[in-house]
């Protein structure tokens, strides 16, 4: 049968498509931009009607589509979130109703480990996701969300796709064929858009320190937020930069536009910017669409430390919440609760250090809560996201410190120097 005929035979409504999903089952939801809004709304309607119960939904980094449908407070119970990375959606739920925390199951897992978890340990019953339109050979592209989503789509027993023309078509190693999906839903709406806001003065100071560490030929990984965007704005005059990153952003695309990124010096996928998922705005998605210079891979490949280290001069930039005086970082726990997750921070810290000439940078403002709380602390309030053994550079607005080869006392002295001056004497008294 022709692929267009297969497509037409599987095309249906969202409500009809989700009738194939059973209660007491495990479902993976596409990540971030790949959340399928029409399908999620149909799932919510089934949960409301009582025809879908104990649906365990596995996901990272939920967004507004999930927050307004299956992750509504009144549906928790019928829907059982199995969250691998907390976002503002879960935090808002818990803030509005603290009892919701008991109904959201947070599952600690490195981002790089999520594909194996879903493929080998969960036995997924279903996967729902947004994809790009089908090509002439019958393949859908994962577009802005390869990450764990592609692996889940290839291993789940039932796959339901939401085809959105706004999803960019991006080359990848394992596209999804129409013969592999159970049902197709079409939904022509704009993709979720994420703006890069203006950086605060502290962020600009931190960005200046980090930019000084980026030389021509460096291979970049940048985390999410205003700080990495500020760094990118400062290195537009570099030459022959490369990109190998879990998250691709408009700021990084700007480095391609400026000519700073050529990817010529990369060992892996030379000439291409490699990423696992992308978040940006409509012009950014248009730039990605059909662009032969961008390439997506699953996160267990992109975030594999050995794969990262194959490129020379990797510069990894990530953020943290707290740094203790020995150099350990808590990047996921704040205010007595899980705030986000480990993500891929440690993967890139280790990958960058294994790279010839590579460095990893973990950055944070020196204070929180309007300057009343120090982020440099005697001991962490939460789990260790990046151990002291692995930390390389720590940067605040007050400077940068290389902790490699430093004793515990030397580390403490360097880190106190990165703290806000109002807290330095107090921290020094603890030595």
| Enzyme catalytic residues | 246
What are the angstrom distances between the C-alpha of 275 and each of 88, 296, 361, 411?
23, 5, 19, 33
To which residue do tokens 């706004």 refer? 166
Tell me if 340 sits within 8 A of 87, measured CB to CB.
Answer: yes
Residue 279, exposed/middle/buried by CB under 10 A (0-12, 13-18, 19+)? buried
The one-character DSSP state at 132 is: P
Whole-angstrom CA distances from 115 to 21, 110, 112, 150 are 21, 10, 7, 9
CB 62 within 8 A of CB 35: yes
Q: Which of 259, 275, 277, 263 is nearest to 219 (CA)?
A: 263
Nearest-Å Rg of the Cα atoms of the chain is: 22
DSSP character at residue 14: H
Helix residue ranges, H only, 262-380:
282-288, 299-302, 305-309, 345-354
Tell me the residue length of the chain: 431
Q: Quickly list H helices, 88-225.
A: 88-96, 114-116, 149-155, 201-211
CB 347 within 8 A of CB 303: yes
Q: How far is CA 90 from CA 85, 96, 154, in A?
A: 9, 10, 27
The per-residue b/e assignment along 322-348, b for 16 or more CB within 10 angstroms, e otherwise, is bbbbbbbbbbbbbeeebbbbbbbbbbb
DSSP 226: H
Taking alpha carbons only, the member of 251, 358, 350 closest to residue 303 is 350
Helix axes of 226-234 and 250-258: crossing angle, nearest 10 degrees: 10
Distance CA 423, CA 404 (A): 24
d(C-alpha 209, C-alpha 34), whole Å: 35
């Amino acid at each position: 049968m022709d692929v267009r005929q297969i497509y037409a035979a599987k095309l249906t409504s969202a409500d009809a498509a989700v009738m194939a999903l059973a209660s007491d089952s495990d479902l993976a939801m596409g990540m971030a931009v790949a959340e399928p809004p029409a399908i999620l709304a149909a799932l919510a309607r089934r949960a409301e009607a009582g025809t879908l119960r104990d649906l365990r939904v596995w996901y990272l980094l939920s967004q507004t589509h999930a927050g307004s449908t299956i992750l509504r407070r009144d549906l928790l119970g019928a829907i059982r979130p199995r969250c691998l990375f907390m976002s503002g959606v879960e935090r808002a739920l818990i803030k509005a109703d603290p009892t919701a925390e008991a109904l959201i199951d947070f599952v600690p897992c490195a981002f790089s480990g999520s594909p194996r978890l879903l493929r080998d340990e969960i036995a997924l019953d279903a996967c729902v996701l947004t994809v790009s339109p089908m090509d002439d050979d019958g393949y859908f592209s994962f577009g802005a969300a390869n990450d764990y989503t592609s692996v889940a789509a290839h291993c789940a027993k039932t796959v339901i796709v939401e085809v959105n023309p706004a999803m960019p078509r991006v080359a990848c190693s394992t596209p999804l064929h129409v013969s592999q999906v159970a049902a197709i839903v079409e939904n022509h709406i704009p993709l979720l858009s994420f703006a890069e806001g203006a950086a605060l003065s502290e962020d600009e100071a931190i960005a200046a320190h980090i930019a000084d560490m980026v030389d021509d030929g460096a291979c970049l990984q940048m985390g999410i937020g205003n700080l990495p965007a500020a760094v990118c704005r400062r290195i537009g005059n570099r030459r022959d930069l490369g990109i190998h990153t879990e998250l691709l952003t408009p700021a990084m695309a700007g480095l391609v536009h400026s000519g700073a990124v050529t990817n010529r010096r990369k060992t892996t996928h030379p000439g291409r910017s490699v990423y696992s998922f992308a978040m940006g705005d409509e012009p950014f998605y248009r730039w990605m669409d059909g662009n032969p210079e961008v390439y997506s891979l699953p996160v267990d490949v992109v975030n594999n430390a050995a794969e990262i280290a194959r490129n020379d001069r990797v510069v990894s930039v990530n953020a943290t919440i707290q740094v203790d005086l020995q150099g350990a970082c808590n990047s996921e726990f704040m205010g007595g609760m899980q705030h986000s997750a480990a993500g891929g921070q440690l993967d890139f810290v280790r990958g960058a250090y294994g790279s010839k000439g590579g460095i990893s940078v973990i950055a944070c403002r020196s204070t929180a809560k309007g300057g009343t709380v120090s982020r440099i602390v005697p001991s962490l309030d939460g789990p260790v996201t990046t151990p002291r053994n692995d930390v390389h550079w720590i940067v605040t607005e007050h400077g940068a410190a290389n902790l490699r080869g430093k004793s515990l006392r030397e580390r403490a002295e360097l880190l106190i120097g990165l703290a806000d001056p109002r807290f330095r004497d107090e921290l020094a008294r603890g030595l």
